[in-house]
Amino acid sequence: MTKYIFITGGVLSSLGKGISASSIGCLLESRGLRVTLQKIDPYLNVDPGTMSPFQHGEVYVTDDGAETDLDLGHYERFTSLSTGQKNNFTAGQIYQSIISKEREGDYLGRTVQVVPHVTDEIKRFIKRVARGRRLDVVIVEVGGTVGDIEGLPFLEAIRQFPLDIGEENCLYIYLTLVPYIRSANEIKTKPTQHSVARLREIGIQPEILLCRTEKPFSKEVKRKIALFCNVTEEAIIQAIDVDSIYEVPLIYKEQGLDRTIIKRLGLPRRRQDLSQWEEMLRRLKNPSTSTEIAVIGKYVRLQDAYKSINEALIHAGAANSCRVKTKWVDAEEIEKEGADKLLERARGILVPGGFGDRGIEGKIEAIRCARQKKVPFLGICLGMQCAVIEFARRVCGLKSANSSEFNPRTPHAVIDLLLEQRKVKDKGGTMRLGSYPCQIPPDSLARKAYGKSRIGERHRHRYEFNMQYKRQLTEAGMELSGLSPDGRLVEIIEISNHPWFVACQFHPEFKSKLSQPHPLFRDFIKASLC
């Protein structure tokens, strides 16, 4: 029997429900349990694919091509999971499914209602992630904050869950804030009391409270929370602020959280092995050297937009026992002030993915600087496309080279749509999405990094390297070091005569884990240390 853990949160948003859910996943896996995680988003968009990174942060892409919430990235980074379409769903998907059933007459003329039809559909989507799989635990994270109107049908659905599968198979965990008020020099429990009361009003009694707190709190505070929220004292976990998110599983473990969960759900008790996690964390916290990497983007004030890149750099730092200092540089600033000055101190330059032409010339200028000054360079997706444009313009003398995304009339569309893509008009779900295989020749930096000739990496783009320019570019010193197995699509490029210049059409950052830093990021950081 698969057990379900439901994680909700209140008082404030941004308390880190995703990290909490991931940390619980990490701890349960360390005890040999088979776990999956699922994120429910109560907003009406069908998926985050068409949402602005300003509002929603990064769009995380899975192997099977789902454009999902960035919390799935945490799930994968903290566990051995490879998530997919079924690990995330939104209110938009629920209503879309219900409305199409209604149009097809599936409800046989009955009135279609939030209870039971919407709640039944939500429960079906929750169970779908476990169907046909032998899982011990499904951890379900409900997005939003308790008290939000749009979250109500989801809370009602999880409230009903024990009626369907038995109370002993369900566990509610609640993430809350226990603030420290400086002027009074006091820890305050009232916000938690009120928000738990709100949850109990709708029929959910949380059994474990994860209390975000700046300072450790006393036994009395614990007792008070326990009494007012109707939970046992051992089930009150202090989620104290830490330097690295990767410490969170250990903080929970010290307070016996995994033991409490295992006991409550009657899961098998196995020996715990967290040694690899602890070793990586030790390296992360005790670097023997440091490096500075400039990341050139257009959402630099909003780092959630580049979440996986940021984390992949941290993992690569740990792999090299090195602290990575990331300098976020606005591509438009480079357009105004030039790359040489702004990137002076960078020991590595990274140009990540993106859409639209804002800041493009700044990114191209940063790449020129990396190429000419022989600074290690990693280009990702749009970053690779810009590297191709830069090379075509400066090295091959095709002055007006561009991507047809930015200039549809360019005489040299070195980056272009494939013929078969030109007819597609819809914005949602029309990209090349998800994992595709790639073949890597020997004697390339890519091969050295991966140590194998065939890899699979995740994509999210429309435009491609234009094969008509293959000869001209390769003769001038660009190496195509990754191709689709049929040889039609360019997946990785390198530049000879440079210490480390690698750019890829896919997104390696999505597959980096603390326990398995991504080979390209690892070697990029290593090159920056030379």
Which residues are catalytically annotated?
A: 381, 507, 509
Question: Is 460 a residue that touches ligand GLN (CB under 6 A)?
Answer: yes
Q: Which residue in 53, 354, 362, 482 binds ligand GLN (CB under 6 A)? A: 354
For residues 480 and 464, give the distance between their C-alpha atoms in angstroms, rounded to a whole number: 13
Question: Is 359 a residue that touches ligand GLN (CB under 6 A)?
Answer: no
For residues 296 and 276, give the distance between their C-alpha atoms in angstroms, rounded to a whole number: 32
Residue at shortest CB range from ligand GLN: 353
Spell out the alpha helix ranges (H) of 184-274. 190-201, 219-229, 248-254, 257-265
Span of 115-123, 253-261, 364-372, 456-464 interacting with ligand GLN by CB under 6 A: 456-464
Question: Is 381 a residue that touches ligand GLN (CB under 6 A)?
Answer: yes
Question: Is 351 a residue that touches ligand GLN (CB under 6 A)?
Answer: no
Cβ neighbours of residue 349 under 8 Å, at least 6 residues apart?
293, 294, 296, 343, 366, 367, 369, 370, 375, 376, 377, 378
The answer to whether the peptide bond before residue 116 is cis (omega within 30 degrees of 0) is yes
Question: Is 355 a residue that touches ligand GLN (CB under 6 A)?
Answer: yes
Strand segments, DSSP code E, in 23-169 are 35-41, 60-61, 67-68, 88-90, 137-142
Nearer to ligand GLN, 157 or 309 (CB): 309
Question: Is 229 a residue that touches ligand GLN (CB under 6 A)?
Answer: no
Strand segments, DSSP code E, in 54-121 are 60-61, 67-68, 88-90
Q: Least distance in Å: CB of 303 to ligand GLN?
A: 17
Backbone torsions φ then ψ of 178, nearest 5 degrees: -120, 90
Nearest to 324 by CA among 339, 309, 338: 309
Nearer to ligand GLN, 6 or 463 (CB): 463
Q: Least distance in Å: CB of 50 to ligand GLN?
A: 13
Nearer to ligand GLN, 16 or 49 (CB): 49
Query: Which residues ranging from 396 to 435 are in contact with ligand GLN (CB under 6 A)?
Result: 405
Nearest to 20 by CA among 177, 167, 184: 177
Span of 68-76, 134-142, 275-283, 349-357 interacting with ligand GLN by CB under 6 A: 349-357
CB 441, CB 447: distance < 8 Å: yes
What mask, x for binding ligand GLN by CB under 6 A, covers residues 463 to 482?
x-------------------
Nearer to ligand GLN, 19 or 381 (CB): 381
Span of 88-96, 143-151, 342-350, 353-361 interacting with ligand GLN by CB under 6 A: 353-361
Strand pairing partners for 355? none
Residues that bind ligand GLN (CB under 6 A): 353-355, 381-382, 385, 405, 460-463
